[in-house]
Structure 1
Amino acid sequence: MADTLDDILQEKSRHQIVLSTSTSNAAFLLLPRVAEVRACFPGGEIFVVTSDPQGIEPSGKVDLALVFGEPDFPGFKSQPLFNDILTPVCTPEYLRENGPIESVQDLLGCELLHMQAQHASWVGWRRWLRHFSQELPKDRQPMGFNNYYHVIQACLAGQGVALGWMRMLGDLTASGQLVAPLAECLETEDHYHLAWPANRPPAFDAAPFKDWLNRQFNGCPPSEPAPVL
């Protein structure tokens, strides 16, 4: 698979646009709306590459990247888009069987699904709970993952409560697959960014993609998740 990817990147046509992002951004933000993404790049072939944790595939062939947090890769310029809103989410079935969850303190009795922080911009359970004057006990071992996509898959399987990044999860809350039982939420200080190689500006207009991202995901609090197209 690595050899095939390398071949495709090396042989990409001048009309191909290599768009890099994290697995979770691809799965929850872009792929459910792939037709709208393609419409942002008329006449271009789009090749989506996923790379974790931040979302920039290090081959040097990337034309554009959607990342959370200002890119810490050398040689990239970026433009901020919007921040995210974090609040606990779970399935309705988990809430019925393990609830009620009526306060932040109630979370301490739940199975908390945890993603190991791999980048400084990531906000985890300890930081989120501290914001609401709660501490995760030091001997507490939440169920852990190294990928946010897997955290949400475990959450959808009813295995516990995830810290929901609501820009990503708007489709899942709008459909009722996940619910946000608490009003408490935390806005991130970091933002999503569009990034591109500083020495190789995009040979295409990235403004339609930037505008689409802002229209689609900006200004959608948990009570008003991103609309399903």
Structure 2
Amino acid sequence: MQNVRRKLPHLDPLIAFEAAARLSSFTLAARELNVTAPAVSQQIKGLETGLGISLFRRGHRSVQLTDRGRLFQNSVSIALTHLANAADEACIDDGIQQLQIVTDTSIASMWLMPRLRQFEQHHPDCTFRLTTTDVQTDLLNGDFQIAILHGQGNWVGYESRLLFEEEVFPVCSPGHLDRLPARLRLEDIPSADLLDLEYEQWHWMNWAIWLTEIGLPLPDTQRKMKTNNYPFVIDAACNGAGLALGWKHLVDDHLASGALVRPFSETVKTQNGYYMVWPFNTEMAPIAAAFHDWILAEFGTENTVPRSHRFQP
């Protein structure tokens, strides 16, 4: 940034230049900026000296941009607009209720976004800042009021409440089943067209883990598709590409619509789950408390004996 600072002109001459270039007049620019025309002329002259180029061709009663001046005007106009917008955003009224949510890409796209409108209808003045990534350390290192995270609820420095336990089962499209030469059996899974989740996090379920839990052989080394993005896995399954693993609650809408089916009743439950998480010993803002209660109501029928954790820093 030090090198940028040496090259960057002062802001006042840039503002004077932008006005003069837009209005094609030092006099009109001075009137707009509530300064004198000689002051505008002096600022632009100093800018030209610093840049080592001529920005204007000066006539008796007019000024005209040079070719370099016209190129410079485009960049300066855009930069000043961005600065003005940033200043406006920084001065947003504190009375506006902004809800800061962080979660992974799966819960965001497959559960939260389809339902967020329901919450918004009861809180029309609320604005949202939603941050998504599958790297939990990145999520927890940012500013947030409410997080929805996958794990065991033991994040130091945070309180957590279990929303739903992890339950995983095979899913595919009806069309994929119809294209198979024979009825798909459970023992056929290791050699089937498997759509797999890249094993980047220790607690992520994939086909190798699922089959081991069921007591079946490991799948063939070659998968039909592997990706680190779970919504992509489900999109591929909906389009008939193969057999995927479905997480309860994440694929409920797909099952209800018929886009996906469960070819087997077998399921694997783990010690993990999805938790609502918030900073320890911190009073929630009213909008965060309302979101907290709304989320619990969405899953309230499942957890009659909720699992909660409080981990002090």
TM-score, normalised via structure 1 length: 0.79
- Answer whether contact 1:55 1:66 (CA < 8 A) is retained: no
Matched with 1:76 is 158
Which of 255, 262, 278 matches 1:196?
Answer: 278
Please tell me whether the aligned partners of residues 40 and 209 of structure 1 are also in contact (alpha carbons under 8 angstroms): no
Alignment of 1:37-52 (within 5 A): 37-39=119-121, 43-52=125-134
Report whether the alignment pairs 1:168 with 2:250.
Answer: yes
Higher helix share: 2
Distance 2:112 2:222 in 1: 35
Residue range with higher mean Cα deviation, 37-46 or 137-146: 37-46
Q: Say whether the 8 Å CA contact 1:56–1:65 is kept in structure 2.
A: no
Secondary structure of the corresponding residue to residue 28 of structure 1: helix
Aligned residues: 212
Q: Relative contact order: is structure 1 or structure 2 higher (C-alpha 8 Å, sep ≥ 6)?
A: 1
Q: Which residue of 1 aligns with 2:108?
A: 26
Q: Per the alignment, in what secondary structure is the counterpart of residue 139 of structure 2?
A: coil
The share of aligned pairs that are identical, in percent, is: 28
> In the aligned structure 2, how far is the partner of 1:154 from the partner of 1:47?
29
| RMSD between superposed Cα atoms in Å | 2.9
Q: Which runs of 5+ in 2 are unaligned?
A: 1-81, 304-313
Question: Structure 2 residue aligned with 1:105, among 173, 176, 187?
Answer: 187
Larger radius of gyration: 2
Contact 1:20 1:55 in 2 (8 A): no
Once the 2 structures are TM-superposed, how far is the Cα of residue 31 of structure 1 from its aligned partner? 1.2
Deviation at 1:108, TM superposition (A): 2.0
Is 1:210 matched with 2:292? no
CA gap of 1:39–1:55, structure 2 versus 1, over 3 A, is: farther
Instruction: Compute the displacement of 1:202 (Å).
Output: 2.1
Q: Deviations over 1:27-76 (max 9, x none)?
A: 11111112223357575322222121449635532111111113676543
Larger displacement relative to structure 2 (115-124 or 74-83): 74-83
The equivalent residue for 1:146 is 228
Greater Cα shift, 14-23 or 65-74:
65-74
SS at match of 1:81: strand
Contact 2:214 2:268 in 1 (8 A): no
Mapped to 1, the partners of 2:197 and 2:237 lie a distance apart of 12
Distance 1:84 1:137, change over 3 A: closer
Cα gap change, 1:97 to 1:195, in 2 (>3 Å): same
1:130 matched residue in structure 2: 212
TM-score normalized by structure 2?
Answer: 0.60
Q: Distance in 1 between matches of 2:155 and 2:253?
A: 30
The amino acid that maps onto 2:296 is D
What is the deviation of 1:118? 2.5
Match of 2:145 among 53, 63, 83: 63
The farther-off stretch of 76-85 and 164-173 is 76-85
Q: 1:13 to 1:182 in 2, by over 3 A?
A: farther
Contact in 1 for aligned 2:195/2:223 (Cα 8 Å)? no
Going from structure 1 to structure 2, the CA distance change for 1:187 and 1:48 (only over 3 Å counts) comes to same
1:92 aligns with 2:174: yes
